[in-house]
Structure 1
Amino acid sequence: MTVKEVKKGNACALLPLIIFVALFIGAGVLTKDFSNMPLNVAVIIASAVALLMNRKEKFEIKVSIFTKGAGHPNIMLMAIIFILAGAFATVAKGMGAVDSTVNLGLSLLPANLLMVGLFAIGCFISISMGTSMGTVVALAPIGIGIASQTDIPVALTMATVIGGAMFGDNLSMISDTTIAAVRTQHTKMKDKFKVNFFIVLPGAILTAIILGVITRGNKAVIGADFHYELIKILPYIAVLAAALAGVHVLIVLIGGTIFAGGVGLADGSYSFGSFLKTIGEGLMSMEDLAIIALLIGGLVEVIRHNGGIDYLLYTVNSKIKSKKGAEFGIAGLVSAAAIATANNTISIVVTGPLAKSIADEYEIDPRKSASLLDTFAGSWQGILPYGGQMLAAAGLAAISPVSIIPYSFYPILMGGCAILAILNGYPKLGTKSKEVKQVATVPVEE
């Protein structure tokens, strides 16, 4: 069924989604701490409300609908990818890959281009690690050290770290946002990467220029001896190369984990037992996100069954008059969800199915719709003062997250580039990306 053929649907079916957003934002506003309402708790409450609605249907039937949505092959594969990505990131970090990567970049930094170099390092680390939070935690102490030895404001160094982190979070093959965008739009990771890269590259270049201009004349030298081992950086390079070559993401992550563990075993960072333990810790570190993905899959399916998705489609469609309007509609949907949840991954998971329906109706290439979802969600995530990245950086630097916003050049330019890409129909795409078809029992190939 196309968007134009859908019924008006039922606005009341969206009540669980409204409750989900209200719980998260309301708790944050009332307590001035957006971490007081965990996303998984908010989703469980909203799911309970969804299951209690529509009294005409038996509870057992509604539970069946919920579990069908939670167990959809797309959602299940996404959850598996999440936990495998956690295993690789944790194993690589445990054997020193993060420290070596950071120190390699810092050892190559020209003294008068500290901020440009810090941004470039953040871009490389985040695209290798696939996590903006991990990049912020790794680089924030370095940024604080730079600020303490120069006249560069610490808020600027923290914003630079966050900007680099969001660059890779938006593009990395093992980023949960990329995984979510690609899976919901039924396209391939390498195809999405190519389109997304050309959309945000001007923003990254302009950010580097701005950072160079506003910090020109700084001659301070970081007087530390940054130790690194090239062999410990190889797992990141191997994962990036394999993903770009189109190797299935499950093979990439499992192979990357084994490679990183092998390096750790060889240099004594791990014993066989500690290697296995670290894998387990990595799997568990992404358990919460995997569970949230399952719960949201079930919640969205119940909302869909009750007519809520039809209502949204009908409402959005009534405002859309062109392909550009449809692209702005997708951008608006994911932006609203990102602002509400302060979580770019969850916002993509929530709005992805609706964005796919809009993209199909208006013949938007899935590479473009996936890129728009990921880019707008990431842009807001790098600006919101109550976002996890902002809170982490501000907490480590002991400053207000609001003070970082004026220096958030890349996240702002990231969103600006996406807007220009819609207005100008950029990039010009040739043959439409072949969609990844969903099979009921067999995971599809990326």
Structure 2
Amino acid sequence: MAIFNYYIILACRLSSEPLRAAGAQVTIEDRQTGVETVNKKGNPLALLPIGVFLALFVGVGVASGDFYVMPAVVGFVIAFAVALCLNPKRKLSDKLAVAARSMGEENIMTMCLIFILAGGFSGAVSAAGGVESTVNLGLSVLPARFAVAGLFVIGCFISLSMGTSMGTIAALAPIAAGISEKTGIEMAICIAAVVCGAMFGDNLSMISDTTIAAARTQGCDMRDKFTENFLIVLPAAVITVGIFLALTWNSSFELREELTFNLWRVLPYLVILVGALVGVNVFVVLLSGTALALVVGIATGAFALAECFQVVAGGIESMYEITVISMLVAGIVGLVREAGGIDWIMGLIRRRVRSERGAEFGVAALVSAVDVATANNTVAIVIAGPIAKEISDEFHVEPKRTASLLDIFASVWQGVIPYGAQLLSAAELTALTPFAIIPYLFYPLLMALSSVGFILLRKRTPR
């Protein structure tokens, strides 16, 4: 309940801040430096840092045939340097202050804390033998042909209850890796099923920050938004299950070893899953799971009492890169926004809206473009929400529908952009690249197609 209240306060605070209309000039005072600056008209060149990162990451990977050649963190450091070159008339110290404030936003710091706690849990449960036991238990009950679809369904339930895609990925990624190793199913398919399931709940959960932000900015009840949203994405979820079943149905994987497991070593994962399903705070869930994993590890002889700190530290250290990347991305977004990149996107889309159906497509395009630019679906909704509200009011779009479209299309892009926290985390936890996972991310694509279908086919009352 605490995290629910926290996100309401965050969404209210952010959504109540006046957004700049595209093309307007607004004078603001830098809260840290006291320097007055003018936000100029929307500027497409402000999106250059994101383009530089994509060109480097994709270009070097394609040229070399190996996407590991360009570490993501190096690409983001270069993009950050390019972002600092924006607004050349501003002092470097002022631009660094803007980046630092963006890095220090509450939702960014919360995400980083989740990374750290998830890493500690992963290190403890892995050292205790929990991953292997959980995988073996699952495969002894569930045939290999159902394993990938099962990962997706479990991910849907966990993310729906926990309200966080990152926590879901952190909990299930090691299990997905274990299933891949045991069955021979391609690792990218297994982890893609986890990411797809994580994005299902991230978009729908009543305690998800995106749901709260979308409903708050549009002034609708969250239950109404949930009902509207669920009906739109349900076909996508059902089809996704079918696709994952079809991918593995005729496969003849042979398990070459006995499936031995220890139920005590599975217990930490059960606590994580049950805690998530009943809606316990994600921080409490991860801390409790870590503590239990340490107790189980010592009790079963997996490691000695003196090694507890080392196994937790090892897991936390494995999350350092993704934590640094998240902060760099936040800093880049702050500089891009300051230079007018977000304003340009908003103005470009807003000028093309002509009808109720066009307004719905405009809202979808608006939040999509902002999410691609910011790599954070909550931030994208908070930024695009007030403009979407104006568009929807003008063309008589129901608030619950606008809120659903905001959340859906922010999640669609957040689930597939290679520099988003979800794919970067999934890749980090499974030693893959985001580009290896993307071809199997069926749910975000189907969610977009289902939403477009609802926009096109929905009967509209003449006004």
Query: Same-fold call, TM > 0.5?
Result: yes
Give the letter aligned to residue 315 of structure 1: L
Aligned residue number for residue 419 of structure 1: 449
Aligned residue number for residue 348 of structure 1: 375
Aligned residue number for residue 148 of structure 1: none
Find the aligned partners of 1:214 and 1:299 in 2 and give their Cα distance.
38
Q: Give yes or no for the alignment of 1:103 onto 2:136.
A: yes
Aligned residue number for residue 76 of structure 2: 43
Residue 43 of structure 1 and its aligned partner are, at CA, apart by 1.4
Alpha-carbon contact 1:19-1:46 (below 8 Å) kept: yes
Residue 24 of structure 1 and its aligned partner are, at CA, apart by 1.5
Picking from 388, 408, 412, the partner of 1:362 is 388
Alpha-carbon contact 2:121-2:315 (below 8 Å) kept: yes
Aligned residue number for residue 34 of structure 2: none
Aligned residue number for residue 165 of structure 1: 194
Aligned residue number for residue 279 of structure 2: 246
Q: How does 1:2-401 map to 2 (within 5 A)?
A: 2=19, 7=24, 8-110=41-143, 114-121=144-151, 123-124=153-154, 130-131=169-170, 133-144=173-184, 160-171=189-200, 202-209=235-242, 222=255, 224-320=257-353, 321-331=358-368, 334=371, 348-349=375-376, 352-363=378-389, 369-378=406-415
Alpha-carbon contact 1:171-1:197 (below 8 Å) kept: no
Find the aligned partners of 1:371 and 1:227 in 2 and give their Cα distance.
41
The runs of 5 or more residues in structure 2 that have no matched partner are 1-17, 25-40, 159-166, 217-221, 390-398, 456-463
Residue 286 of structure 1 and its aligned partner are, at CA, apart by 0.9
Alpha-carbon contact 1:170-1:374 (below 8 Å) kept: yes
Find the aligned partners of 1:328 and 1:99 in 2 and give their Cα distance.
43
Find the aligned partners of 1:273 and 1:380 in 2 and give their Cα distance.
41
Distance 1:13-1:186 versus aligned 2 partners, 3 A rule: farther
Tell me the alpha carbon deviations over residues 55-86 of structure 1, each in whole angstroms, 9 at most, x when there is no partner.
Answer: 32222222212211112222122211111111
Alpha-carbon contact 2:86-2:335 (below 8 Å) kept: no
Secondary structure in 2 matching 1:69: helix
Secondary structure in 1 matching 2:383: helix
Distance 1:282-1:297 versus aligned 2 partners, 3 A rule: same
Residue 289 of structure 1 and its aligned partner are, at CA, apart by 0.9
TM-score of the superposed pair, with normalisation by structure 2: 0.68
TM-score of the superposed pair, with normalisation by structure 1: 0.70
Find the aligned partners of 1:137 and 1:355 in 2 and give their Cα distance.
32
Find the aligned partners of 1:196 and 1:268 in 2 and give their Cα distance.
48
Residue 117 of structure 1 and its aligned partner are, at CA, apart by 3.8
Find the aligned partners of 2:134 and 2:244 in 1 and give their Cα distance.
22
Find the aligned partners of 1:201 and 1:42 in 2 and give their Cα distance.
37
Distance 1:138-1:43 versus aligned 2 partners, 3 A rule: same
Percent identity for Structure 1 against Structure 2: 28
Aligned residue number for residue 392 of structure 2: none
Number of residues paired by the alignment?
Answer: 384
Give the letter aligned to residue 361 of structure 1: I
Residue 29 of structure 1 and its aligned partner are, at CA, apart by 2.2
Find the aligned partners of 1:322 and 1:287 in 2 and give their Cα distance.
42
For structure 1, which segment, 200-209 or 215-224, has the greater mean C-alpha deviation from structure 2 after superposition?
A: 215-224
Tell me the alpha carbon deviations over residues 317-358 of structure 1, each in whole angstroms, 9 at most, x when there is no partner.
Answer: 334541343124434665x67xxxxxxxxx733x65334322
Distance 1:180-1:85 versus aligned 2 partners, 3 A rule: farther
Tell me the alpha carbon deviations over residues 377-411 of structure 1, each in whole angstroms, 9 at most, x when there is no partner.
Answer: 43577xxxx9997999999xxxx979x95xx4xx3
Distance 1:16-1:179 versus aligned 2 partners, 3 A rule: farther
Find the aligned partners of 1:196 and 1:20 in 2 and give their Cα distance.
33
Distance 1:194-1:241 versus aligned 2 partners, 3 A rule: farther
Residue 162 of structure 1 and its aligned partner are, at CA, apart by 4.3
Secondary structure in 1 matching 2:415: helix
Tell me the alpha carbon deviations over residues 146-179 of structure 1, each in whole angstroms, 9 at most, x when there is no partner.
Answer: xxxxxxxx6xx66753443333443578xxxx98
Residue 315 of structure 1 and its aligned partner are, at CA, apart by 1.9
Give the letter aligned to residue 72 of structure 2: L
Find the aligned partners of 1:25 and 1:61 in 2 and give their Cα distance.
31
The runs of 5 or more residues in structure 1 that have no matched partner are 145-153, 338-346, 426-446
Find the aligned partners of 1:88 and 1:196 in 2 and give their Cα distance.
32
Residue 103 of structure 1 and its aligned partner are, at CA, apart by 1.0
Distance 1:37-1:193 versus aligned 2 partners, 3 A rule: farther
Larger relative contact order (CA 8 Å, sep ≥ 6): 1
Find the aligned partners of 1:38 and 1:198 in 2 and give their Cα distance.
40
Give the letter aligned to residue 60 of structure 1: S
Find the aligned partners of 1:185 and 1:304 in 2 and give their Cα distance.
20
Distance 1:162-1:240 versus aligned 2 partners, 3 A rule: closer
Give the letter aligned to residue 379 of structure 2: P
Give the letter aligned to residue 322 of structure 1: A
Tell me the alpha carbon deviations over residues 271-328 of structure 1, each in whole angstroms, 9 at most, x when there is no partner.
Answer: 2222211111111111111111111111111222222221122123334541343124
Secondary structure in 2 matching 1:322: helix
Tell me the alpha carbon deviations over residues 14-54 of structure 1, each in whole angstroms, 9 at most, x when there is no partner.
Answer: 22222222221221222222222222111111212222332
Find the aligned partners of 2:69 and 2:78 in 1 and give their Cα distance.
15
Distance 1:241-1:137 versus aligned 2 partners, 3 A rule: closer
RMSD between aligned residues: 4.3
Find the aligned partners of 1:35 and 1:180 in 2 and give their Cα distance.
33
For structure 1, which segment, 244-253 or 120-129, has the greater mean C-alpha deviation from structure 2 after superposition?
A: 120-129
Distance 1:283-1:179 versus aligned 2 partners, 3 A rule: farther
Find the aligned partners of 2:213 and 2:123 in 1 and give their Cα distance.
26
